[in-house]
């Protein structure tokens, strides 16, 4: 609710709906309730997904991790998009932004369930871009790298590591949730994004061009 409070404080209209995105009925009703609350729907951002703990690919936990990641990430994004479609058609336009990951592109170790889901989301993105473009709906995926609580947890307070990773980035810094990731998503859903669809957009200062350091270890949760 902190996010809602800060939105209201800046004078924005905001409405919070709690939902389990791995449950189809809840996803459908959250989209429906949002659209009815505002009277229309123009933009859908599918960022929610369960992030399973990192385990080795041969682990017996992989099946369950995959199940929960796919249901919340892939199916959740699909169900929300399907529920938004009639509203977008009514508005004669729509914007969907899905979330992929550099970890998935490079197959970072021990993240099989997460990685497979994130790449599946890019497949979903391109397919819906092809199918729904005729309704003036754009569907894009972003692959962000930005500072977040999960990202901070990965470094476990190791400031030297935090700085070292920033120095590896071509822009010599970490991404900022608002000014970098938020700004890019805003650009895609704005008038500026009207002719961009099916795109996978890295928002990472160009770090993906250098590959991905395989620093992950079993038992952590960072993706």
Partner 1 sequence: MSQFENKHAIVVGIDAIGRGIALRLAREGAAVALIDTDIAGAEATAHEIRYAGGRAISSSVAWDAVRGAVEHVVDQLGGLDILVNNVLPQPHIGSLEEQPASAFETSFGRVHAAAQAMQAALPHMRAAGSGRIINVGHRYGENVNDGIAAYNAAAWGLVGLTRTAAMDWGKYQIATNLLVPLAETPEFKSFHGRRSKLLDLMVAQLPLCRLGDTVEDIGATVLFLASEACNFVNGAVVYGDGGQHTAGPVLNPGKFH
Q: What are the catalytic residues? A: 114
| Stretch 12-41: interaction string toward partner 1, x if CB under 8 A | ------------------------------
Q: Fill in the DSSP letter of residue 73.
A: I
Asked if 203 and 186 count as a contact pair (C-beta separation under 8 A), the reply is no
Where do the H-state alpha helices sit in 95-182? 102-105, 112-132, 149-155, 159-168
Residue 163: CA atoms inside 13 Å, Cβ hemisphere, count?
Answer: 3
Question: How is residue 31 written in tokens?
Answer: 């989209």
For residues 157 and 195, which CB has a smaller minimum distance to partner 1 in the complex?
195
Report the nearest approach of partner 1 to the CB of residue 218 (Å). 30
Contact 59, 112 (CB under 8 A): no
Which residue, 82 or 169, has its beta carbon nearer to partner 1?
169
Q: How far apart are CA 220 and CA 90, in angstroms?
A: 44
Contacting partner 1 within 156-175 (CB under 8 A): 169-172, 175
Secondary structure E strands in 145-210:
200-203
Q: Which is nearer to partner 1, 49 or 180 (CB)?
A: 180
DSSP letters, 78-93, are HHHHHHHHHHHHHHT-
Residues 183 and 179: their CA atoms lie apart, in Å, by 5
**Shortest distance in whole angstroms from residue 135 CB to partner 1:** 10
Binding mask 75-114 for partner 1 (x = CB under 8 A): ----------------------------------------
Which residues inside 176-205 make contact with partner 1, applying CB under 8 A? 176, 179-181, 183-184, 186-188, 190-199, 201-205
Nearer to partner 1, 55 or 141 (CB): 141
Q: How far apart are CA 5 and CA 1, in angstroms?
A: 6
Contact characters 122-141, partner 1, x per CB under 8 A: ----x--xx-xxx-x-x---
Cβ neighbour number for residue 218 with a 10 Å cutoff: 11
- Least Å distance between CB 16 and partner 1? 26
Closest separation in Å from C-beta 133 to partner 1 = 3
CB of 189 to partner 1, least distance (A): 10
Tally Cβ neighbours within 10 Å of residue 64. 13
Q: For binding to partner 1 (CB under 8 A), which residues are involved?
A: 126, 129-130, 132-134, 136, 138, 145-146, 169-172, 175-176, 179-181, 183-184, 186-188, 190-199, 201-206, 208-210
């Amino acid at each position: 609710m902190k996010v809602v409070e800060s939105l209201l404080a800046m004078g924005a209209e905001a409405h919070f709906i709690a939902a389990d995105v791995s449950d189809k009925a809840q996803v459908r009703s959250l989209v429906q309730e949002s659209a009815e609350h505002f009277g229309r729907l123009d933009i859908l951002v599918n960022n929610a997904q369960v992030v399973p703990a990192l385990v080795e690919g041969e682990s017996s936990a992989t099946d369950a991790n995959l199940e929960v990641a796919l249901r919340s990430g892939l199916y959740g994004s699909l169900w929300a998009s399907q529920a938004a479609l009639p509203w977008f058609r009514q508005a004669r336009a729509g914007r969907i932004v899905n979330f992929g990951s550099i970890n998935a592109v490079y197959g970072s170790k021990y993240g099989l369930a997460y990685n497979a889901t994130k790449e599946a989301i890019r497949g979903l993105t391109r397919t819906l871009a092809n199918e729904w473009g005729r309704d003036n709906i754009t569907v894009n995926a972003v692959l962000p790298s930005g500072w977040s609580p999960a990202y901070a947890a990965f470094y476990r307070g190791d400031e030297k590591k935090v700085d070292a990773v920033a120095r590896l980035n071509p822009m010599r810094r970490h991404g900022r949730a608002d000014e970098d990731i938020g700004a890019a998503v805003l650009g895609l859903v704005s008038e500026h994004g009207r002719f961009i669809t099916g795109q996978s957009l890295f928002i990472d200062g160009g770090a993906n061009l250098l590959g991905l350091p395989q620093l992950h270890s079993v038992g952590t949760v960072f993706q």
